[in-house]
Amino acid sequence: MTQESIQPFLDWISAHPTSSGFIVFLISLSESLAIVGLIVPGVVMMTAIGGMMGTGTLPFWATLSWAILGAIAGDGISYWLGHHYHNRLREFWPFKQFPKLFARGEDFFRNHGGKSIVLGRFVGPVRPMIPVIAGMMDMTPKRFLFFNVLSALAWAPLYSLPGILIGASLGNLSPEVATRAGLLILLLLLAIWLFYEFLVLIGSGIVKSMMQIVHCACRILRRVPYARSALKTEQASEEGQLGIAILFVLSLISFCLVYSDVLHSEGVAAWNEPVYQVLRALYSDKLVAIIAFLTGLGDPWVLLPTVLMVGLWLIWRERLKTAACWLLTNGTGYAVGRLLKIETVIPRPEGLLYVSNQYAFPSGHTLMATLTFGLTAILIQNSIAKKYRWVPWALAIPLILFISISRVYLGLNWFTDVLGGLTLGTACVTLGIFFYRRIQTRPVLIRGILAPGIFALFIMLSLYSFFSYPTVRKELIREWPAHELTQSHWWKGNAETNGLYRTGAFKHHATIFDIQWLGTLPVIEQSLELSGWQVVPKLNFKTGVMLLANNPAPLLFPIMPKFHRDRLPVLTVAKTYGASKRFILQLWQSDYQSDTGIPLWVGTLRLEEAAHPLPLVTVFVESAYKGNILKEFAETLNIHPQIRIKNIPSKNAHTHKLLLLRSH
C-alpha cells in the first residue's frame, strides 16, 4: 500500500465526517452481533474511533451517538434471533459450532439475571451471546430493551475513552496529521490484536499437539516394564511425569547447543554483540539505578542464604523429602554453574569502571533465579486450586526474565550467558521435580515454603541494599579510558584516531567518523551557529508527530537518537539543501584530548531526504551526495577554524577522507 493509494481515504474521512458515522454504526453493530462479535476486534476499532474523535477528525457527539445506536441494534438483532428461534438456533450454522459458548452464556445469565445484559457487554467471549440467551430464555422485550440501552450508553464511551485520551494528547494538530494519527492508531491496534490472536492460536495448537504426543507416548511406554516404573509417581499423573521428562531433555539439549556455540563462537553466539549494543543504546542513569537494585533479586549471595533458610525451615517442619529436593536442586545447579564458569573462561563485556574477575558463562544471577523461583512455582502449584495454578508461573516467569534481561542491559553478561543460565536452570529444576514426585505424596502448602521464603528474601535483600548495592552501583558507571594525543602528530594525520568508528546497534563498528574537531565546545557551537547551522529538535512525543506529516520542514524534523559508547551526541545540527533535503552534523565525545588538555570531538556528516517507507509515516534517510561533502561543509564555516582533509587508507579498496578541524 503506497502513500498515494491511502491518501484518498484520508481525504474522504476529513471531507465526510457525517457519512463516516455510518461506518462507526456498522462497526459497533458487528461487535455486538451474535457470533460475529467473536471475530470483530471491537476494542481495537472503538479505540481507533476514539482517537479520531480526540483529534477532531470525527465529530465527537455524532460519532458517539452512532456507536451507541450500533450497539443497541447489534444486541437487539441477537435478542430477536434467540426470541424467535429459541432452541432451534442451536442447530443452525454457525451457532452449532459453539455449543460451549451457549452453555457458558446460560450459566452467566442464570447467575446474573437482567443485569447480565449490562455485564455481558464487558465479559470476554460470552459478550455477543448474552442477548441471544436472553431471547431464548424468554426475557420480555421491554425489560431487555431497558438493559440494552443502559449497557450501550456505558459501553460506547468507555471503549472509546482510551482513544479519545490519546487523540486529545496530540494537541492542536493540522487536519492532515490528525487524520493520519487516527488511522495509524487504528492500524497499530489492529496489528497488535491480530498478533495476539495469532499467538493464542499457535500457542493453543502447540499445547494441544504436545498433550496428544505425551498421551500417545505414555500409552506406549506403559507397555514397557522399566519405562512404566520410571514414570510411576506418588503426586501426579504419568502423563505429567512424562511431560516433565520431555522438558528436561529439551532444556538439556538446548543448553548443550548454547554451550557448543559459546565454545566455538558461532551460531547463537553471533547474537551477543547485536543484543548487547541494542540494550546498551537504551542506557539511562536513572533506569540503571533501579535495575541495578532489582537485579540483586538474582544475586547468588542473596538467594543462596534464602535457599538455606527455607531448607532449614522445611527440616524443622519435618518435610525432609521436600527439604532434600529444595537444597539439592538449588545447590547442585549452582555448583554446576560455577564449574562451567571455570571451564569455559568467557570474559565479561568491556566498558565498565569495574569488571568482575569472575567469568561470564553461564549467568549466575539468571541460573539462581531460574532455580529458586522456578522450583518454588512448581512446588506450590499442586496446593492451589486447578484454575489458579497459572498464578505462581505468572509471577515467577516475568521475574526470571527481568533478572535475565537486566544482566545484559547492565553490561554484566552476554546474551549467551543468559541463555545458558535459563536452559541449565530449567534442566536442573525439571530433573529435581521428576525425582521428587516419585517419592513425595503430600503437596507443599503455600505457607510451608512461600511465607518463610519471602521473609528470608526480604532480610537478604535488605542486607544487600545496605552493604552491596552502593558498591555495585558505583561499579556500573560506564567509563571509557581517556587517551592523550600529540596535537602536531594528530594534525599531520598520523594519529591512532584515523580509524575511529561509532559503535552501533547491530555491530561494533557501525559508521566510521569522517570529522575530527579539536577545540572547546562553545567555540564549535558559535562557529556553526554563525554559519547558518541550526540545532535539530530532539525526538520526543511532541516532535514525534512530525513523523505523520506528509512534507515536514527539514530543520524541524527530529532525528533518531544515535549512540556512541552509550552516549548521545553532544551536538546535532542541520542545514537545508534544496526544498526537502538537509545536511546533518553530529559530534560525540571521543575519549581523546591533546597534550594541552583540549578535547577532541568526533562526528559524522551526511545528507538526508524525506522518504515514506510506510503509509502515513515520513522519515528522513541518508541520501547520496555527488560532490565533496567534507570540502563543501568546511566552506560553509564563517568563523574559519584550521581545516585539513586527509586521505586515510582503509581495509577495503576505498580511501577514507577525514576532515580535521582545529579551533582555539
* Residue 41 one-letter amino acid: P
Cell for 65? Answer: 451517538
- Predicted pLDDT of residue 426: 92
Mean pLDDT confidence for 132-154:
77
Give dist(CA 62, CA 74) in Å, integer.
18
- Of 286-300, 367-381, 407-421, 468-482, least confident by mean pLDDT is 468-482
- Of 1-5, 146-150, 435-439, 533-537, least confident by mean pLDDT is 1-5
Residues 468 and 613 in one domain: no
Q: What is the DSSP letter of 480?
A: P
Q: Would you say residue 212 lies in a domain?
A: no
- Predicted pLDDT of residue 76: 81
In our burial notation (b when 16+ CB lie closer than 10 A, e otherwise), range 85-118 reads beeebeeeeebeebeebbebbbebbeeeeeebbb
Radius of gyration (Cα) for the chain, nearest Å?
A: 32
Is 29's pLDDT higher than 80? no
Q: Would you say residue 388 lies in a domain?
A: yes
Q: Number of structural domains, the chain?
A: 3
Q: How confident is the model at residue 103 (pLDDT cuts 50, 70, 90)?
A: low
Q: Would you say residue 620 lies in a domain?
A: yes
Please indicate whether residue 626 or residue 18 has the higher confidence score (pLDDT). 626
Residues 514 and 421 in one domain: no
Residues 519 and 462 in one domain: no
Q: How confident is the model at residue 238 (pLDDT cuts 50, 70, 90)?
A: low
Q: Indicate the residue among 154, 180, 198 that finishes a domain.
A: 198
Q: Would you say residue 467 lies in a domain?
A: yes
Give dist(CA 177, CA 167) in Å, integer.
11
Cell for 344? Answer: 569455559
Mean pLDDT is highest, among 4-8, 255-259, 392-396, 640-644, for 255-259
Residue holding cell 547468588? 300
- Predicted pLDDT of residue 322: 82
Is 474's pLDDT higher than 80? no
Q: What is the DSSP letter of 567?
A: B
- Predicted pLDDT of residue 371: 92
Give dist(CA 132, CA 84) in Å, integer.
10
Give dist(CA 87, CA 319) in Å, integer.
56
Residues 288 and 169 in one domain: no
Is 407's pLDDT higher than 80? yes
Cell for 103? Answer: 452453555
348 contacts: CB under 8 Å, gap ≥ 6: 355, 356, 358, 359, 360, 411, 412, 413, 414
- Predicted pLDDT of residue 415: 87
- CB distance 483 to 592 below 8 Å: yes
Does a cis peptide bond (omega within 30 degrees of 0) precede residue 305?
no
Residues 392 and 524 in one domain: no
Q: How confident is the model at residue 422 (pLDDT cuts 50, 70, 90)?
A: very high
Mean pLDDT confidence for 164-174:
58
Mean pLDDT confidence for 615-630:
79
Q: Would you say residue 299 lies in a domain?
A: yes
Report the run of H or E that residue 618 belongs to, with start and end: strand 617-623
- Of 2-11, 240-249, 255-264, 623-632, least confident by mean pLDDT is 2-11
Q: Would you say residue 219 lies in a domain?
A: no
- Predicted pLDDT of residue 115: 63
Residues 464 and 509 in one domain: no
* % of the chain exceeding 70 in pLDDT: 68
| pLDDT tens-place string over residues 213-234 | 766 766 666 666 655 555 666 5
Is 581's pLDDT higher than 80? yes
Q: Would you say residue 111 lies in a domain?
A: yes
- Predicted pLDDT of residue 310: 86
Is 641's pLDDT higher than 80? no
Give dist(CA 31, CA 295) in Å, integer.
44
Mean pLDDT is highest, among 199-208, 277-286, 594-603, for 594-603
Give dist(CA 156, CA 122) in Å, integer.
11
- CB distance 637 to 529 below 8 Å: no
Residue 581 dihedral angles phi and psi, to the nearest 5°: -120, 165
- Predicted pLDDT of residue 55: 62
Cell for 141? Answer: 422485550
- Of 20-24, 352-356, 418-422, least confident by mean pLDDT is 352-356
Residues 490 and 590 in one domain: yes
314 contacts: CB under 8 Å, gap ≥ 6: 320, 322, 323, 326, 448, 449
Q: Would you say residue 222 lies in a domain?
A: no
CA distances to 8, 78, 614 from 2, rounded to whole Å, are: 11, 39, 7
Give the structural domain span for 28. 3-198
Residues 469 and 522 in one domain: no
Q: How confident is the model at residue 18 (pLDDT cuts 50, 70, 90)?
A: low
Residues 409 and 260 in one domain: yes
Closest by CA to 503, choosing from 657, 264, 279, 292, is 279
- Predicted pLDDT of residue 6: 43
- Of 40-54, 483-497, 574-588, 612-626, least confident by mean pLDDT is 40-54
Residues 161 and 51 in one domain: yes
Mean pLDDT confidence for 526-542:
82
- Predicted pLDDT of residue 218: 64
Residues 495 and 464 in one domain: no
Residues 383 and 465 in one domain: yes
Q: How confident is the model at residue 479 (pLDDT cuts 50, 70, 90)?
A: low
- Predicted pLDDT of residue 370: 92
Is 309's pLDDT higher than 80? yes
- Predicted pLDDT of residue 97: 60
Closest by CA to 23, choosing from 78, 54, 63, 79, is 63
Mean pLDDT confidence for 492-503:
74
